[in-house]
Structure 1
Amino acid sequence: MGIGKQALFFTMLLIALVEAAMSTTDSKDKVDKFVISPTKTIVRIYNKLGEGLNLTIHCKSKDDDLGVSTVAYNSYFYWKFRVNFLGTTLFFCGLSWRDASGVFDMYKAKRDMKRCPTRCNWEAQKDLVQGLRQGDNVHDMAFNWTYKT
């Protein structure tokens, strides 16, 4: 097989593999296009609980476990990543403090690629966890805590 035929074969194989991967997703989760992320996205979770209250954070994705971190008041935890080729990147985090806890999707590509393309900031407050939209820093998302009884 000549070099030109090999290149054509591998190109067709790549297209077939991508199409097969796309066809196995649920129709409501279909990705409209492939994602080539030239820049990294930074997610920050700020502790705004109050003086003397620490925030414990444990974030994961399908492929990465970022470990457990304890964040003091007015400090933050962050990580950087590139959105995957299919635009399905998801990081979820378990957050907890003295009075409450919860597990939240802190970065979900389908939801966040437009609302915070390079910087996703979250504030953990006593009453809820709020997301800030990039550009105008408006609180545009919120998650409720599960309070300890």
Structure 2
Amino acid sequence: MKKKILNTILLLLFVSAFSFFIFIIQPDRLYLHGVVYEVRVINGFTNNSSLPLVIWCSSKDSDLGGRALQEHDDFSWRVTTKLWNTNQFCCTMKWDAKRKSFDAFKVPRDFYRCGIFKKCSWLVREDGFYFSPDEVNWKKDFQW
């Protein structure tokens, strides 16, 4: 009986410590109804001052609209995930004659990939699309 009580107390302490840690690390990203991710798409072209990167993003529930991004401009938004919902945002990019659609955010893929700070960043360059959870280490995901 004493062992069962001790195990229950230890479990409660662990859950309390874990919850406290999460709220201290990222209080503005956690809500009672889901986890908040920040998605950012950056124009990483080196010389497109005369021709912007056109981006249009939407999900099944919302249309974020389109933007024309000049060099180093970005387009960002927040996504709140819920247990019963699989949020997915698809973006279509157009630059000169090139056009590409891709999933900028997808819960099953990005749940862990976006890191503890829930940051999902994309850098679009002439040779392809790069992903980073910290905007320091970029990994090429795919080409145009």
Q: Aligning the two structures, in what range does the TM-score lie when normalised by the shorter sequence?
A: 0.5 to 0.7
Other-structure match for 2:40: 44
Question: Pairwise CA RMSD of aligned residues?
Answer: 2.0
Gapped regions of structure 2 (runs ≥ 5): 1-31
Other-structure match for 1:129: 129
TM-score scaled by structure 2? Answer: 0.68
CA distance in 2, matches of 1:141, 1:88: 24
Where has structure 1 moved over 4 Å in runs of 4 or more?
none
The answer to whether 1:68 aligns with 2:61 is: no
The answer (yes or no) to whether the contact 2:37–2:80 under 8 Å persists in 1 is yes
Instruction: Select which of 66, 75, 78 maps to 1:77.
Output: 75
CA distance in 2, matches of 1:66, 1:135: 23
Secondary structure of residue in 1 paired with 2:81? coil
CA distance in 2, matches of 1:136, 1:49: 16
Letter in 1 for 2:94: S
Alignment length, in residue pairs?
A: 109
The answer (yes or no) to whether the contact 2:79–2:87 under 8 Å persists in 1 is no
The answer to whether 1:88 aligns with 2:86 is: yes
Secondary structure of residue in 2 paired with 1:82? strand
Secondary structure of residue in 1 paired with 2:109? helix
The answer (yes or no) to whether the contact 1:87–1:110 under 8 Å persists in 2 is no
CA distance in 2, matches of 1:67, 1:136: 24
The answer (yes or no) to whether the contact 2:55–2:68 under 8 Å persists in 1 is yes
Letter in 2 for 1:129: F
More strand by share: 2
Other-structure match for 1:105: 103
State the Cα deviation string for residues 123-145 of structure 1 (Å, max 9, x = none): 0000101111x248433451221
Letter in 2 for 1:124: V
Other-structure match for 2:119: 119
TM-score scaled by structure 1? Answer: 0.66
Q: Percent identity?
A: 28
Gapped regions of structure 1 (runs ≥ 5): 1-34
Q: CA deviation at 1:87?
A: 4.9
Other-structure match for 2:137: 138
The answer (yes or no) to whether the contact 2:53–2:94 under 8 Å persists in 1 is yes
